[in-house]
Structures are given as structure tokens and as C-alpha cells.
Chains A and B, each alone.
Chain A
């Protein structure tokens, strides 16, 4: 499975878009990119996933570069409840959670 690099922490003003980057330069052609988040003390929550094309759902948008070596999760209008640790997981075998990005949404 591909290794990932995410910034350890980010801040975002409430109501603004939060853009969370992930580098997965060793990703292979059949590995999906999954994004999960973990709000303090809760179970990880699925957000979105994609293979090649950009994806959007009610929670977020996922932008995957053409070479698939990086992706960006976009929360269009961050709220205080979006404060969490966000994990980017390229997946071919099992899920391996890294250290993620701790996003703090500031009032």
C-alpha cells in the first residue's frame, strides 16, 4: 500500500472552505484514495473516496491530480463540528491509518 504525507495540523475559519492536502506519490493504479475523519473519542467516519475522477458528495469534494500522486479533500463551508483528525488512505489491501491532519475550525 502507498505511503501518505499529510500536514500534521491546520486551522480554518468557520464558514470558509477547508482544503486538506495529501501526498501519495507511490500510489498504484488500482488503489482507491479514501478519506476518513475521527472526531474526538468517536469511531472513524467515512467521508469520500475516489480512483481517478474528482468526486463530490454531501460532505465534501475530493480532487485527485491527473498523475494520482496527490489529492485534496475540500470541506466547502467548515463548521465547528468539522474539527477532527482527517486521514487520507490509499487502499489496495487493508486500511492503514497514518497520523492524519488535525483540523481545527476557528469561530
Chain B
């Protein structure tokens, strides 16, 4: 069984559209994350959620809104998509936010292309 899964794997859309990426983890972890990897391959954290509560937002435009319906899911909704949003988005989860239990497990990624 896949530990951290994301849908869709590929997403191609027009500028100005609104889209969502879904993430689910079956590891029983308390904390989930969204990362963005741009064309230069830099991987940057965007959001961190602990038990359905936002605990970090790394200067991400407010067009990006994470939504966590329950502890196992963290979806990423993007409004008014721009060309610069094209990237690979990775979801991750960890048992907790500190100490030895911090190891993060990543999903396979969603490649977003904005035309």
C-alpha cells in the first residue's frame, strides 16, 4: 500500500483557473506538509499542518490555500493560476514535528503545468 499518495500525478491547466491537488497518508502521522520544486530543482516547504491546524506558512501567496478535512488528508487549492506556479508539488507526512519522530515521508509528486 502506498504510504503517501497524491492525485493527480499530472495537471495541465490554463492561466487563471482554480485547481486542487489531493494528498492522503495512511501512516497515522500527525503532521503533513506541502513542498514546491521549481524548474531549477530547488525544493521548498510551503505549508505544514499538525492535527488539522496550520503551523507554518512559508511566505506563500494567499492564492494557495491548504485544506485538511482530517488528519490523513491535506489538499492544496490554488486560485487564479499563474505561469510561475508551474512546478512539481510534493506532499509529505511525519509522525510529529520534533525530535527523532520528525522523519518525513514524501509522496510521488504532482507535476503542474500552467499554460
The answer on a CB contact under 8 Å between A44 and B43 is yes
Among candidates A46, A85, A94, A97, residue contacting B48 with C-beta atoms closer than 8 Å: A94
**Interface residues contributed by chain A, number (CB under 8 Å):** 17
A-B contact count (CB 8 A): 41
> What's the least CB distance linking B85 to chain A, in Å?
18
Does B108 lie within 8 Å of A42, measured CB to CB? yes
A44 and B106 within 8 A (CB): yes
Chain A proximity of B4: nearest CB distance (Å): 8
Q: Is the beta-carbon distance between B45 and A95 smaller than 8 angstroms?
A: yes
User: A24 at the A/B interface (Cβ < 8 Å)?
Assistant: no
Stretch of B11-19, B63-71, B96-104 lying at the A interface: B96-104
**Residue from A42, A46, A96, A97 within 8 A of B103 (CB atoms):** A46
Chain B residues with CB below 8 A from A42, complex form: 108-109
Query: Is the CB–CB distance between B100 and A94 below 8 Å?
Result: no
> Complex: how many Å from CA A49 to CA B104?
11
CB distance from B23 to the nearest CB of A (A): 11
Cα distance A42–B109 in the bound complex, in angstroms: 7
Expressed in whole angstroms, the Cα–Cα distance for A46 and B45 within the complex equals: 16
